[in-house]
Amino acid sequence: MESVKIENLLEKYFQGETSIAEENELRNYFSSLNVAQHLEQYKPLFGYFSLAKEPQFKHEIPLQSKKRTVAWLSIAASVVVLLGIGTYAYYNLDVANKSQDLGTYDDPEKAFRATQKALSLLSDNVNVGIESVLYIQEYQIAKEKVFIETKKNSGGS
C-alpha cells in the first residue's frame, strides 16, 4: 500500500514535479528501515542528499579587507602630517609677530623717558670716543709749541 504511494511519488520526482514536502516524504521513507525490496536501489540516492547537506564552512572570514586598512592608514598619516605642518606654521608665525615688536610706547611720557635714556646712552658712548681723541689734541699742542720754537730759533740765527 505504502510502496504504491511511494512509487507514484518517485514517478513525479523524476519528472521534476514534486514539492519540497513530497520530497521530504520520500527522504523519510528511504531513510527508514522498511524500504520495499524493489525500491532498495534508490536508498543511496536519498541517503546521499541528506549526507551532502552536512559539510559546513568553518573558516574565519577575513572581513577587514586589506584595501580598506591601507586607505585608513593613509588618511591617518595625512592628518598627522597636516597637524605637524599646522603647528609648525602656527608657532613660527607667532615668533615672527614677536620679532616685529619694535618697542613702541603708547604713553607719551614713557616714550619721552625712553628716548632720553637712549639719547643719553648714545651721547655717553660718543663722549668716550671724544675723551680718547682729546689726548691727540695734547700732542698737537705740544708739537706746535716745539715747532714754533724751532722756527723762531732758526729764524733768529
Partner 1 sequence: MNQNEFVLLITPFKDKVFRLAKRLLVSTEEAEDATQEVLVKLWSKNGNLTGYNSIEAFAMTMTKNYCLDQLKSKRTGNLKIVHTNYEDKEPGLEKKMEDLDSLNWVEKIMDQLPVQQRLIIQMRDIEQYEFEEIAEILDMKESAIRVALSRARKTVRDYMTETHKYGIS
Among 15, 32, 97, 125, indicate the residue that binds partner 1 (CB under 8 A): 15
The answer to whether the CB of 10 falls within 8 A of the CB of 26 is yes
Pick 11 or 144: Cβ nearer partner 1 = 11
The answer to whether the CB of 125 falls within 8 A of the CB of 118 is no
CA–CA separation, 120 and 126 (whole Å):
10
For 14-34, b/e burial (b = at least 16 CB within 10 A) is eeeebeeeeeeebeebbeeee
**Does residue 65 touch partner 1 according to CB under 8 A?**
yes
Span interacting with partner 1, options 1-9, 44-52, 117-125, 137-145, rule CB under 8 A = 44-52
The answer to whether the CB of 12 falls within 8 A of the CB of 22 is yes
The answer to whether the CB of 51 falls within 8 A of the CB of 41 is no
Among 3, 9, 13, 25, indicate the residue that binds partner 1 (CB under 8 A): 13
Pick 38 or 98: Cβ nearer partner 1 = 38
Span interacting with partner 1, options 59-67, 95-103, 133-141, 145-153, rule CB under 8 A = 59-67
Residue 142 to residues 1, 136, 138: CA-CA distances in angstroms?
160, 10, 6
**Does residue 47 touch partner 1 according to CB under 8 A?**
yes
**Does residue 83 touch partner 1 according to CB under 8 A?**
no
Among 51, 71, 80, 89, indicate the residue that binds partner 1 (CB under 8 A): 51
The residues of the shown chain that bind partner 1, judged by CB under 8 A, are: 13-17, 20, 23-24, 41-45, 47-49, 51-53, 55-57, 59, 61-63, 65, 68
